[in-house]
């Protein structure tokens, strides 16, 4: 986001050999100079901001493994799970079911946690789910101004923009401006409800079902539902744009 | 603490940078930091609230300079050191102290599911009466604790209406202060934008916050 990622590949390759002696990296070292860090003879202030987070992370992991505090195989499978199993496809299934089945929708809006469990998503933060419905006169937008609370089991890990200072600061004071940046313009008389996730409740927006989808199956409907529409920064359209 | 993390209502933070087809992790180390934190959570030495507070304690200027996962990296190191699972010396040298015992990781790859499931520690088995009910007019307290708090500054002192009672949760402020769970009700409270942001705000804009009993008073 704010950091440039230049020369990261080279740095990572270099890491493999350098980790064992990663001393001093918790403080500062300039990119590509990590090997010198044990000498540590340059002038600097010891600071919090990691100058080389990749190296510092590797040093931490190596230490934790050596001390028997983490199992590296468990770390590998966790990374894989977050990359492949947990994502907006889960939330899209919930939305599609709600569109296709009015009684499910009713249960979902009344007790989201229970209704989501019907589809097999019973884990973690889904235990405290709330679903808020968009309509012709109401538009919902989800934010976490204090950190990065987000319905992980249903949407996966949040995108960078959701965690950005820009979004977190502005969503509550200028939601129309924020929506405008996402290309969403709402009629003047639409009420905007912003949900700031300050406790352990997690919010999912139930977007409006687009016209022209009457004959679609639940699976076809789910394919239209984007992550952004379930956060409230996009509407669902029949012509889905890639990646949103 | 009135920290930089409490960003709601700040202005001039720049445009929202949207990235198409964004990967889950932009660099491998981000994923490693994330799962190290998850796996270390299995030691049950801290709660989510402790973890949040560790990020809140970062110096504001550092917080703003750091990327999201840099904040996680530094706060995770601090959590692990604070929990005495490693020492600061070990962290800085990158090596276990001479003669230190080798532990057995509580989380194996076979029980990965247990870490994906966040334990329901936030819903205590307690019987506490609700102080408010749906429709009650309430005012968020004008408080400025120096420790962990989940009442954003922009809502303090503002009047709203209880939209829903979410039930009983543990109280983050006392948990992080080491003063126990203090179970109490959490409510969804609706604040009109004009109450929060003044008369120039739209009458068709409201913000809902989830707030604990201890943050609210009857009007």
Per-residue pLDDT reduced to its tens digit, A138-149: 999 999 999 999
Q: Sign of the C-alpha dihedral, residues B170, B174, B178, B182? A: negative
**CB-CB neighbours of A23 under 10 Å:** 16
Q: Do A87 and B24 touch (CB under 8 A)?
A: yes
Please list, in sequence order, all residues whose beta carbon lies within 8 angstroms of the beta carbon of residue B140, skipping any fewer than 6 positions away. Answer: B151, B155, B156, B157, B158, B159, B160, B189, B209, B211, B215, B216
pLDDT of residue A152: 86
CB A46 within 8 Å of CB A28: yes
pLDDT of residue A38: 39
Of B59, B77, B102, Cβ closest to residue A68: B102
Of A22, A69, A78, Cβ closest to residue B103: A69
Touching check for B104 and chain A: CB below 8 Å?
Answer: yes
Given the residues A148, A164, A169, A217, the one annotated as active site: A148
A144 is catalytic: yes
The CA distance from A218 to the nearest CA of chain B, in Å, is 24
Touching check for B214 and chain A: CB below 8 Å?
Answer: no
> Which chain A residues touch B216 with a CB distance below 8 Å?
none
Q: Looking at the predicted structure, is the pLDDT value of residue A14 above 50?
A: no
The CA distance from A220 to the nearest CA of chain B, in Å, is 20
Given the residues A144, A197, A217, A229, the one annotated as active site: A144
**Within the 28-47 window of chain B, which residues sit less than 8 Å (CB to CB) from chain A?**
28-29, 31-36, 38-40, 43
Tokens of A13: 């390759």
> Which chain B residues touch A60 with a CB distance below 8 Å?
36, 73, 76-77, 91
Which of B103, B114, B204, B212 should be substituted to probe chain A, the one whose Cβ sees the most A Cβ atoms within 10 Å? B204
What are the tens digits of pLDDT across the range A121-133? 765 554 689 999 9
Of A23, A75, A164, Cβ closest to residue B39: A75
Element (H, E) at B208: strand B205-212
3-state secondary structure of A52: coil
The CA distance from B74 to the nearest CA of chain A, in Å, is 7
pLDDT bin (cut points 50, 70, 90) of residue A157 is very high
Choice among A107-121, A175-189, A203-217 with the minimum mean pLDDT: A107-121
The CA distance from A203 to the nearest CA of chain B, in Å, is 11
- Identify the residue with better confidence: B160 or A25: B160
Q: Do A200 and B212 touch (CB under 8 A)?
A: no
pLDDT bin (cut points 50, 70, 90) of residue A243 is very low
Of B16, B31, B92, Cβ closest to residue A181: B16
Which of B3, B18, B71 should be substituted to probe chain A, the one whose Cβ sees the most A Cβ atoms within 10 Å? B18
The residues of chain B scoring below 50 in pLDDT are none
pLDDT of residue A41: 42
Q: Do A200 and B122 touch (CB under 8 A)?
A: yes
Q: How many CA atoms lie within 13 A of B197 on its CB side?
A: 20
Task: Give me the total of CB pairs closer than 8 Å, taking one residue from chain A and one from chain B.
Answer: 299
Touching check for B97 and chain A: CB below 8 Å?
Answer: no
CB B117 within 8 Å of CB A124: yes
pLDDT of residue B113: 61
Q: Looking at the predicted structure, is the pLDDT value of residue A13 above 70?
A: no
pLDDT bin (cut points 50, 70, 90) of residue A21 is very low
Angle (CA) A169-A174-A178 rounded to 5° is 80
The CA distance from B127 to the nearest CA of chain A, in Å, is 18
| Phi/psi-derived region of residue A163, left when phi > 0, alpha when psi is between -120 and 50, beta in every other case | alpha
CA distance A203 to A196: 9
What are the tens digits of pLDDT across the range A35-62? 333 334 444 344 577 789 999 999 999 9
A103 is catalytic: no
Given the residues A29, A37, A149, A197, the one annotated as active site: A149
pLDDT bin (cut points 50, 70, 90) of residue A81 is confident
Q: Do B205 and A175 touch (CB under 8 A)?
A: yes
pTM of the predicted model, to two decimals? 0.88
The CA distance from A156 to the nearest CA of chain B, in Å, is 8
pLDDT bin (cut points 50, 70, 90) of residue A134 is very high
**Mean pLDDT, all residues of chain A:** 82
> Which chain A residues touch B37 with a CB distance below 8 Å?
none
Touching check for B66 and chain A: CB below 8 Å?
Answer: yes
């Amino acid at each position: 986001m704010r950091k440039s990622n230049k020369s990261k590949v080279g740095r990572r390759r270099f890491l493999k050999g350098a980790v064992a002696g990663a001393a001093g990296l918790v403080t500062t070292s300039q990119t590509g100079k990590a090997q010198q860090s044990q000498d540590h003879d340059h002038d600097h202030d010891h600071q919090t901001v990691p100058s080389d987070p990749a190296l510092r992370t590797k040093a931490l992991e190596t230490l934790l493994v050596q001390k028997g505090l983490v199992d590296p195989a468990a770390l590998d499978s966790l990374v894989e799970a977050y990359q492949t199993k947990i994502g907006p496809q889960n939330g899209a299934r919930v939305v599609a079911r709600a569109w296709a089945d009015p009684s499910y929708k009713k249960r979902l809006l009344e007790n989201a946690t229970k209704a989501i469990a019907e589809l097999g998503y019973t884990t973690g933060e889904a235990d405290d789910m709330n679903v808020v419905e968009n309509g012709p006169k109401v538009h919902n937008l989800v934010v976490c101004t204090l950190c990065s609370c987000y319905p992980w089991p249903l949407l996966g890990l949040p995108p960078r923009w959701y965690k950005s200072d820009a979004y977190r600061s502005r969503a509550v004071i200028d939601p129309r401006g924020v929506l405008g940046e996402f290309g969403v313009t709402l009629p003047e008389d639409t009420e905007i409800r912003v949900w700031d996730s300050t406790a352990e409740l997690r919010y999912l927006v139930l977007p409006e079902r687009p016209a022209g989808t009457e004959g679609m199956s639940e699976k076809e409907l789910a394919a239209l539902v984007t992550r952004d529409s379930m956060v409230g920064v996009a509407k669902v359209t029949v012509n889905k744009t890639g990646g949103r | 603490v009135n920290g930089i993390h409490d960003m709601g209502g700040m202005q001039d933070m720049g445009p929202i940078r949207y990235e198409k087809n964004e990967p889950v992790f932009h660099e491998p180390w981000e994923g490693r930091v994330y799962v190290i934190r998850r796996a270390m959570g299995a030691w049950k030495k801290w709660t989510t609230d402790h973890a949040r507070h560790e990020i809140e304690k970062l110096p504001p200027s550092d917080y703003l300079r750091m990327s999201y996962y840099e904040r996680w990296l530094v706060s995770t190191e601090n959590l692990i050191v604070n929990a005495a699972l490693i020492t600061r010396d070990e962290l800085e040298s990158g090596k276990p102290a001479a003669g230190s015992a080798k532990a057995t990781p509580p989380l194996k790859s076979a029980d990965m599911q247990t870490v994906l499931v966040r334990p329901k520690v936030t819903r205590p088995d307690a019987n506490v009466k609700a102080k408010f009910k749906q429709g009650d007019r309430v005012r968020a307290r004008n408080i400025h604790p120096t420790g962990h708090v989940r009442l954003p500054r922009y809502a303090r002192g503002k009047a709203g209406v209880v939209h829903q009672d979410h039930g009983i949760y543990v109280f983050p402020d006392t948990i992080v202060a080491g003063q126990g769970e203090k179970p109490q009700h959490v409510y969804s409270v609706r604040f009109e934008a004009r109450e929060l942001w003044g008369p120039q705000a739209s009458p068709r804009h409201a913000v809902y916050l989830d707030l604990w009993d201890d943050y609210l008073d009857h009007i």
